[in-house]
Copies of this chain bind each other. A is one copy, B any other.
């Protein structure tokens, strides 16, 4: 149940269309939809508290747990997303819940339709190399699920600066930038000196040797001398999308 459903319910109560007792019953069901005997407890009214519904993190869950969580969340919210689901696990979930859709590049599953969301300014998601695409797509898919218009710009690494400069106008048409970058992660630094938008940087685990599975990219981003760049965990496309949407909603708040 998101805020608009809640407001609808309360308006119905005020209008006399729903009795306080029935409303109470409906609200009483909210807190914990206990699915699958304690193993997966979804939190359907998280959206009410934080503006963002629960998203299923698939990596540490079994196909059974993902299926149960998606169904529980979709029942309450109209739609649900699970991320970090590889192709094998996706197949197993689909065998249990045939309606899920698998998004291969983003390594994500969706169930149901994206529910109506608050208005949101456009977000630009920029990435440096083809190896960063899965993380960029995860961010894009989640941002769109949360109601954001998304502009995708790929393969604009700093070793080919002209490509990046050629896309600056597209970037400036959006209000928030997510920059996805692995290896030395110089893209957000360069971009941070060229645009005045809030920018969220996502380090990726692309690379080898001293890249340390993304720790060097993370460190480089946090050390960037262009002030105002904020950072999320390595490969954390979901976190970047949620942060960007919260910001982009402010920009079109009535």
Contact = CB atoms under 8 A, between A and B. Distances in A.
Contacts of A230: 200, 230-232, 239-240, 243
B215 A236 contact: no
Interface stretch (A8-16, A18-26, A151-159): A151-159
Interface stretch (A55-63, A72-80, A86-94): A55-63
Contacts of A239: 227-230
Contacts of A248: 250
Given A41-B154, A216-B216, A49 B209 contact: no
A163 B39 CA distance: 15
Interface stretch (A95-103, A106-114, A127-135): A127-135
- Interface hub of A31, A60, A197 (most chain B Cβ within 10 A): A60
Q: How many copies does the complex hold?
A: 8
A247 B46 contact: no
- Interface hub of A32, A225, A236 (most chain B Cβ within 10 A): A225
A203 B246 CA distance: 21
Given A39-B130, A233-B210, A159 B192 contact: yes
A235 B209 contact: yes
Contact of A209 (B195, B221, B225, B234): B234
Nearest to A227: B242
Interface of A: 31-32, 38-41, 43, 46, 49-52, 55, 59-61, 65, 121, 128-131, 133, 154-155, 157-163, 175-176, 183-186, 189-190, 192-198, 200, 203, 205-236, 238-240, 242-243, 245-248, 250-251, 253
